[in-house]
Amino acid sequence: MTISAEEWALERSRLEHVVAEADYQLGEMRKAVQRRKGSVLDIRRSMWEDGPRLIRDVDDQINAAIYLAALGREERDYLVVKRLERALEKLVDSPYFARVDFRAEGEDAPEQIYIGLSTLIDHVDNRHLVYDWRAPISSIFYDFEPGEASYETEKGPIKGIMTLKRQYKIVRGQLQYMFNTNLRVSDEILQEVLSKSADGRMSSIVTTIQREQNRIIREEANKVLVVQGPAGSGKTSVALHRVAYLLYKYRDAMSSDSMVIFSPNRIFGDYISDVLPELGEQNIHQTTFQELAERLLGSSVATEDMSEQLEYILTKSEESEPRYAARIEGIKYKNSPRFVSLLREYARYIEEKGVVLEDVVVEGQTIATKEELTELFRERYTYLPIGKRLEKVYRRVLFLMKPHEDRRAAELYQQIKDDPSQLHTSEEEIRALSLAAVKREFGPVKARVRQLTKIEAVDLYRRLFESPELISSLAGGDGLPERLSEMCALTVNHIHAGKLRFEDLAPVVFLKAMVEGIEELSHIRHVVLDEMQDYSPFHFEILKMLFPRSGVTALGDINQSVHPYASANYETMLDILGRQRSTLTHLTRSYRSTEQITKFTRAMLEGGDTIEYIAREGAKPVITRAETEEALMRALQVRLLELRRSGVQSIAVICRSAADADRVFRRLERLGQIALVTHRATAFETGSVVLPAYLAKGLEFDAVLIHNAGAAVYGRENERKLLYTACTRALHDLFIFYTGTLTPLLSGIDPELYDTATWA
């Protein structure tokens, strides 16, 4: 429907008013920011000038507490007004992106609802000039076409008629264009967003949220929400918008400090770090399971991460590594639900047979019998986990020893005092000498009791693998690896070497939680799990223990399991986290790649034709055969330079492994302006990068160059998803190179879906 000149004039006039109002409020907010900042500085100055420098008595403690409480209040208020300042700055630049005219049942005329990143209310007459995209009424823009529409409120649904649906592009307060649409969120806006270059971190999708995505964002019926979606379906973006929605709706009960997102690696955490600030919210805490596990185990334990394990899997073989087959069997087994069950049995075994106590004898007198201590452990302290029970037993023994120590100290004190050779020794020195002697006499007894009552998860785990017979007994002989003895010896050797392999990390944390207890992180109200397809059952068990009351949004794609031996699936996860209050929803449309790239990549998968795509035209993927590795590198260099000259902003050369990536980078770095991405990286690199496929998941680039997809490189069926993940990083262009024979993972694809080239 054509928009009349009169309507254009009205829209421009209204926009001028809204921008002026936002600019006025921004000015007032900046004054408030300066006032709050001044208050914070004044309190800090007063603390320095008037507050107690040293805590000498109760009055000093009280005064210090008063200053700290006041400072905390002022700093919180400052952060609030600073956040509002940033929101108003965004409104001045682009106050809204959509409008719906909605006539509720019983009303004579429709209300004009303008939708933007945040709410703006006229300071003169309190009219809503802009509604926050998360407001209940804003949902009709995402969910309905003109006609019958409704939205949910706390009092129930509001039904009515949508008479107009309009979208805008506003930049620096100026209306670039607008149009009416009778469809879902317009493909015109969506196509413009998708055709842009990937020249930075992930951005918000608030202007292009689709109906199925909006329902996920606003889902509140269940505690656990699981989202399965193909590469490029917007899973992570939707999850971050969901976080922003929950922070908006439950602002009094939730804050950014009460949410956490588990990312696959630190690079990805940096890549998504701009989305929430764009939406006017503070970033929530981001971490990886690796970081969580290391905190729970303590810094004394060195650990391997998943990237290091994947590098071992991808670069070693039975021919090059004698123990490769045994370790692979161990990785498979330790990722399985069967091993979860075995460790549960082992925890029961430790409780029933693994704790052996002894009589405690002091100066020839038994102060606690084995039976008494065992009764404490098995009956009186059963409300505690094993480790805490043993700690209570230890404390009980120390309590019983105290009178004996005091009596002996008094005896020694008197002996030293009566000794003529100590005539000139002071009272304080005599007391110190007597206490030191008592410590030497009673020390061995205490050390023995400490040894009997000390429990440590890594040590218990090692002891389990020192006995293949015990493992077989606990498992009932069911589903054990063929190379059980070899696997056990390898595990023990790794632990003796002082480093936990990645396959042992989650099981050790799980065992620690069962025998030592684990503290719930009760302040966390919502947990986001990204790339959940690479989690094991142990990961979900541990997260359930840590966050038993938290809501969970879990995102994944089974087809992007870069770990060939990860065994978790949605059924496993729901069994662990709870099916009663869970929702499993599927996204089916990919928005990332062109139609040509999506058709090609989905052909790599069995059942891939269920993946829908946006009709965004582009060039077909190009598969280039090179005669030699040297020719392949020349072809890759030429293509990289061509892409740069054509203005492509973001280019990734994706290799199978980090070892390959390092070797390729050394050949390409002479071209300049290219970076090597490793598992130790903490920031997302823009421009041209070289990286292993397993670090590329979740990221996207204008152009992707697959270094070598020959059969000698990608020869295993269990690497299909790794190669698929690498190829699906491309937004606009995909180039695949190979030497020798093309990998069978690609050889069955319809030749009509790609172009070919050769390089001599």
Q: Quick one: which of 165, 162, 242, 215 has its CA closest to 530?
A: 242
pLDDT at residue 189, as a whole number: 58
Measured in whole angstroms, the distance separating CA 126 from the mean position of its chain's CA atoms is 41
pLDDT at residue 37, as a whole number: 85
- Coil, strand or helix: which one is 653? strand
Confidence category of residue 629, pLDDT binned at 50, 70, 90: very high
Average pLDDT over residues 148-171: 94
Using H for helix, E for strand and C for coil, what is the string for 146-196? Answer: CEEEEEEECCEEEEEEEEEEEEEEEECCEEEEEEECCCCCCHHHHHHHHCC
Q: Which helix (H) or strand (E) holds 720?
A: helix 720-727
Whether 639 is in a domain gets the answer yes
| Per-residue b or e along 395-420, where b marks 16 or more CB atoms closer than 10 Å to that residue's CB | ebbeeebeebbeebbeebbeebeeee
pLDDT at residue 148, as a whole number: 95
Domain boundary residue among 389, 421, 454? 454
pLDDT at residue 47, as a whole number: 66
Q: Is the pLDDT of residue 197 over 70?
A: no
This prediction has a pTM of 0.87
Average pLDDT over residues 604-608: 92
pLDDT at residue 250, as a whole number: 93
147 and 92 Cβ atoms separated by less than 8 Å: no
Q: Which of 162-176, 192-206, 540-554, 706-720 is predicted least confidently?
A: 192-206
Amino acid letter for position 178: M
Q: Is the pLDDT of residue 53 over 70?
A: no
Q: Is the pLDDT of residue 422 over 80?
A: no
pLDDT at residue 570, as a whole number: 81
Whether 422 is in a domain gets the answer yes
User: What is the percent of the chain where pLDDT is above 70?
Assistant: 94
| Per-residue b or e along 23-53, where b marks 16 or more CB atoms closer than 10 Å to that residue's CB | eebbeebeebbeebeebbeebeeebeeebee
DSSP string, 603-615: TTSTTGGG-EE--
Confidence category of residue 184, pLDDT binned at 50, 70, 90: low
Q: Which of 113-122, 175-184, 517-526, 670-679 is predicted least confidently?
A: 175-184
Residues in CB range of 524: below 8 A, 6 or more apart: 258, 259, 260, 546, 547, 550
582 and 568 Cβ atoms separated by less than 8 Å: no
- Coil, strand or helix: which one is 83? helix
Confidence category of residue 75, pLDDT binned at 50, 70, 90: confident
Average pLDDT over residues 244-251: 93
257 and 285 Cβ atoms separated by less than 8 Å: yes
Whether 410 is in a domain gets the answer yes
Q: How far is the CA of 497 from the CAs of 290, 352, 460, 494, 502, in angstroms?
A: 20, 30, 16, 5, 14
Higher pLDDT, 649 or 40: 649
Q: Quick one: which of 565, 542, 543 has its CA closest to 552?
A: 543
pLDDT at residue 152, as a whole number: 92
Q: Is the pLDDT of residue 58 over 80?
A: no
Average pLDDT over residues 392-397: 92
Q: Is the pLDDT of residue 194 over 60?
A: no
Q: How far is residue 629's CA from residue 181's CA, in Å, rounded to a whole number? A: 52
CATH at residue 682: 3.40.50.300
What DSSP character marks residue 351?
I
Q: Is the pLDDT of residue 48 over 90?
A: no
pLDDT at residue 106, as a whole number: 92
Whether 338 is in a domain gets the answer no
Domain boundary residue among 394, 426, 454? 454
| Per-residue b or e along 311-321, where b marks 16 or more CB atoms closer than 10 Å to that residue's CB | bbbbeeeeeee
Residue 405's domain comprises 356-454
Q: How far is residue 37's CA from residue 248's CA, in Å, rounded to a whole number? A: 25
Domain boundary residue among 426, 454, 482? 454
527 and 289 Cβ atoms separated by less than 8 Å: no
Whether 651 is in a domain gets the answer yes
Q: How far is the CA of 214 from the CAs of 286, 503, 551, in angstroms?
A: 23, 37, 18
Whether 421 is in a domain gets the answer yes
Q: How far is residue 164's CA from residue 686's CA, in Å, rounded to a whole number? A: 41
Q: Which of 194-203, 231-240, 464-473, 508-517 is predicted least confidently?
A: 194-203
Q: Is the pLDDT of residue 759 over 50?
A: yes
Average pLDDT over residues 345-363: 91
118 and 132 Cβ atoms separated by less than 8 Å: yes
Q: Is the pLDDT of residue 615 over 90?
A: no
Higher pLDDT, 729 or 301: 729
268 and 293 Cβ atoms separated by less than 8 Å: no
pLDDT at residue 17, as a whole number: 97
Whether 449 is in a domain gets the answer yes
Using H for helix, E for strand and C for coil, what is the string for 102-132? Answer: EEECCCCCCEEEEEECCCEECCCCCCEEEEE
pLDDT at residue 221, as a whole number: 86
User: What is the percent of the chain where pLDDT is above 90?
Assistant: 68
Count the domains in the chain.
Answer: 2
Q: Is the pLDDT of residue 338 over 90?
A: yes
Q: How far is residue 671's CA from residue 254's CA, in Å, rounded to a whole number? A: 49
Whether 121 is in a domain gets the answer no
Residues in CB range of 2: below 8 A, 6 or more apart: none
- Coil, strand or helix: which one is 56? coil
Q: How far is residue 310's CA from residue 658's CA, in Å, rounded to a whole number? A: 9
pLDDT one-digit tens code per residue, 494-538: 999 999 999 999 999 999 999 998 889 999 999 999 999 999 999
pLDDT at residue 186, as a whole number: 46
